[in-house]
Structure 1
Amino acid sequence: MRLGYACVNLSLGGKMRSLRLATLRERGLAYLQTLVDENLALLVAILRWNLAQGITVFRISSDLVPLGSHPEVPLEQIRFEAAQVAEVARLARQGKMRLSMHPGQYTLISATGPVWESSYRDLCYHAEVMERLGIEGDIILHGGGVYGDRQATARRMLAHIEELPDGVRRRLRLENDERCWSVLELLPICEASGLPLVVDNLHHGLNGAAEVPLEGLPWERILSTWGGRRPKLHYAEQDPSKRPGAHSDYVSASGFRAFLAAVPWTDYDVMLECKAKDLALLRLRQELGQAEEERITTPGES
């Protein structure tokens, strides 16, 4: 089992530069290009740090190209500096890294009309970023809404998946969410479309656990959606001071061990979704390591 974290490295500091549409219109593509150069340099620095720490699972920010899927951004005119791209590929290859991206809440495979049109552009943008970086990776997406008719929406989702270019479809994975699409509701869609299913424990706790506990999920069917590829899960814990579904800063070793005990797999990856990002991963890894060391070195009772 390998652990990963998402988008921001707090040990290094710095965040991907974003951009308002008004600023883009005022300052133009030359300014956008400078932000892309800075963001790509930061990605290289993060991957170097990850490699040094033995962290091989990481989510790339969707802001690598700010406003990258907006109709006013001609992505074909945005340059990825060749040396930086080569370094990303080298680090990923050397560390056998699994890199992913996660489009935002307004990218909906279940939507219609203009929302689906913008969602289609956004999915193509994420696949284009991965193509340029020379990585396959995972594009993780929630099911979206139900729109008053679950069966009709499921059929529309399958039709939209068929419409996607191959570069998007072969990277796309669906994830259960905390409101609309549970694991058991998404599983038939994944089986029918050939898309892998990513199980999120916190979302399942809010949407699905009353029907079936985590350990009772059809794990063999879920594994089969991955078609022999290494599966991936998400792990998070609730921030007690915020709305249901809000992620905590850190996670507990005891809670994570209970999660591992519920998953009957051996080789898989876990993306930690914590506000403390890499710091949460390092703390959890240390606590798990200490517990394992204590288990090994402490004599058993006779």
Structure 2
Amino acid sequence: MSISSEETAHRTEKLQTDDSPQRLGFAVKVINQNGLKANDARRWQSGPHLSVTIGYLHEIFAYLAKNEITMYRMSSDLAPYCTHPDMPQFWGQIGACGDGLAALGKAARENDIRLSMHPSQFIVLNSPDPVLVEKSVRDLLAAAEILDAMEMGPEAVLIIHVGGTYGDHKTGCERWVETYRTLPEPVRRRLVLENDDIRYSAADVLSIHEETGVALVFDNLHFWCNNPERLPLVETFRQFLRTWTSARPKMHFSSPNTGMREVRRKDETTNKLATFYQQPIWTGHADFIHPFEFTQFVRDAFAEPGTPRFDVMLEAKAKDIALLRLRRDLLRYAPDVAVRFGLAGEPTTDDTEYYDEEGEPGNESGDKMVE
């Protein structure tokens, strides 16, 4: 599906003038509601099916609506084994669930929930192995077909990374571009590319965008961890925003985990298992979002007039609890930022809201938080 330059300009102008509240979202697992499952994760011997996943997602969407959460990343394993070449019994799930997927999409739209999927690290479009590329394309096509069957708009995207370097960084980019140009239309229509924290930087994906027109998702933590070109953060972020022409831009935001890491291994002096502590790895996500870092990022982004609004997927280990906490923190510390996300009301100041009497992380029901 191609659009004219005039239509692209019209869509871009519409995005730049969109003044509806920005969204905050979280990924896959719901922590603050015991028992909610994101997908049918049973092993193949138990006959898992997309129809079961659809039921789970209806429950999650109801939870999102109740808490006025309007952005959610679905699991990348909604239809179990549906592309497995040696398990034909799982083929055809998407077609068989057409009515169920349409009803699920209607529920998402009625509750104004922006959806996305982030297929796994095993999706590698720039691999020199054609078998792996073919499998990756099959998996992406299945994900795109699910979103199409749900009748979701262009805002429902599939986010992937470039892939491996295979000893030649430049060739890795070139192979990605070559594969992208051969992708099925449903995949190409929804696919967006994210800068990663180790191999392909913001500069790399910007160069791929210049070759393909693919929209880009900016990840703030990945940018800090992998920016060998020393690009300026805010201007680079704005460049990413300008790559979106068919939907409001989205980005990923996380705070680095600053805690000591516990490692269980054998003590060479006693020959027994013991707990050792290591310094943090900055690519790791924290449980929560640092509200002051987030606030400064948003303020800097809008310091320049004409910056389009963008939605934010929070990547925090505390998932929905982290989102609810950030909303409260924005009302308390940064009401000017809170209003951008449609937040209103009096801020609370009780920092123990999600902790049980022993000081352990928990939810509003008093249940301890689990990862």
Alignment TM-score > 0.5, same fold? yes
Q: Are 1:291 and 2:329 an aligned pair? A: no
1:70-219 equivalence runs, <5 A: 70-74=84-88, 76-78=91-93, 81=97, 84-113=100-129, 114-136=131-153, 137-208=156-227, 211-217=230-236, 219=238
Q: Deviations over 1:240-290 (max 9, x none)?
A: 235331211111211111221232434110000111111110110111012
Q: Are the aligned partners of 2:101 and 2:146 in contact in 1 as well (CA < 8 Å)?
A: no
- Whichever residue aligns with residue 153 of structure 1, its letter is G
- Whichever residue aligns with residue 188 of structure 1, its letter is S
- Cα distance in 2 for residues equivalent to 1:288 and 1:224: 26
Shift of 1:161: 0.4
Q: Are 1:256 and 2:274 an aligned pair? A: no
**Greater Cα offset, 62-71 or 167-176:** 62-71
Aligned to 1:50: 64
Q: Are the aligned partners of 1:200 and 1:234 in contact in 2 as well (CA < 8 Å)?
A: yes
Q: Any unmatched runs of 5+ in structure 1?
A: 298-302
Aligned to 1:269: 311
SS of equivalent residue, structure 1 residue 212: coil
RMSD: 2.4
- Counterpart of 2:250 (choices 232, 242, 256) is 232
Q: Are the aligned partners of 1:110 and 1:156 in contact in 2 as well (CA < 8 Å)?
A: yes
Shift of 1:167: 0.3
Structure showing greater Rg = 2
Q: 1:209 to 1:270 in 2, by over 3 A?
A: farther
Q: Are the aligned partners of 1:51 and 1:91 in contact in 2 as well (CA < 8 Å)?
A: no
Q: Are the aligned partners of 2:162 and 2:173 in contact in 1 as well (CA < 8 Å)?
A: no
Q: What is the count of residue pairs matched by the alignment?
A: 287
SS of equivalent residue, structure 2 residue 77: helix
- Cα distance in 1 for residues equivalent to 2:121 and 2:335: 41
SS of equivalent residue, structure 1 residue 174: strand
Q: Are 1:17 and 2:40 an aligned pair? A: yes
- Cα distance in 1 for residues equivalent to 2:51 and 2:69: 24
Structure with greater helix percent = 1
Q: Deviations over 1:146-193 (max 9, x none)?
A: 222222222211110011100000100000000111111110101221
Q: 1:66 to 1:76 in 2, by over 3 A?
A: closer
- Whichever residue aligns with residue 3 of structure 1, its letter is L
Q: Which runs of 4+ in 1 moved over 6 A?
A: 294-297
- Whichever residue aligns with residue 40 of structure 2, its letter is R
Q: Any unmatched runs of 5+ in structure 2?
A: 1-21, 261-279, 340-345, 347-371
